[in-house]
């Protein structure tokens, strides 16, 4: 009982830092997370953590590729000569 209440409060607070999840959605995830984690077992928990890590690396790589393509190249800037 208390675990679900604590999970709901933590989920609501965490939702404020995650784009795309509202406070209500975070609360619902916080309530459901302990039950889901218990049913997944240790192997499922390890797979979830590994998948989250892989997704973060993939997301970071895509973001860095986007910023590289929008930054002007040093070779593209005209040379400045003084008279």
Q: Is residue 47 part of a domain?
A: yes
What local confidence, expressed as pLDDT, does residue 67 receive?
79
Q: What letter would DSSP give residue 8? A: H
Distance CA 8, CA 5 (A): 5
The share of the chain scoring above pLDDT 90, in percent, equals: 14
Distance CA 24, CA 30 (A): 10
Q: Count of domains in the chain?
A: 1
Q: What is this structure's pTM?
A: 0.48
Q: Is pLDDT at 61 greater than 60 in this prediction? A: yes
What local confidence, expressed as pLDDT, does residue 57 receive?
93
Q: Is residue 39 part of a domain?
A: yes
Select from 37, 38, 29, 39 the least CA-distant residue to 9: 29
Q: Is pLDDT at 28 greater than 80 in this prediction? A: yes
What local confidence, expressed as pLDDT, does residue 38 receive?
81
Q: Is residue 81 part of a domain?
A: no
The residue-averaged pLDDT of 44-70 equals: 87
Segments forming the whole domain that contains residue 35: 2-66
Q: Is residue 72 part of a domain?
A: no
């Amino acid at each position: 009982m208390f675990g679900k209440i604590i999970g709901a409060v933590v989920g609501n607070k965490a939702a404020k830092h995650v784009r795309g999840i509202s406070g209500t959605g975070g609360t619902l995830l916080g309530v459901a997370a302990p039950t889901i984690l218990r049913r997944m077992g240790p192997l499922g928990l390890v797979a979830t953590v590994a998948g989250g890590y892989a997704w973060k690396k993939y997301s970071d790589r895509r973001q860095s590729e986007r910023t590289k393509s929008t930054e002007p190249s040093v070779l593209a800037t005209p040379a400045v000569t003084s008279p």
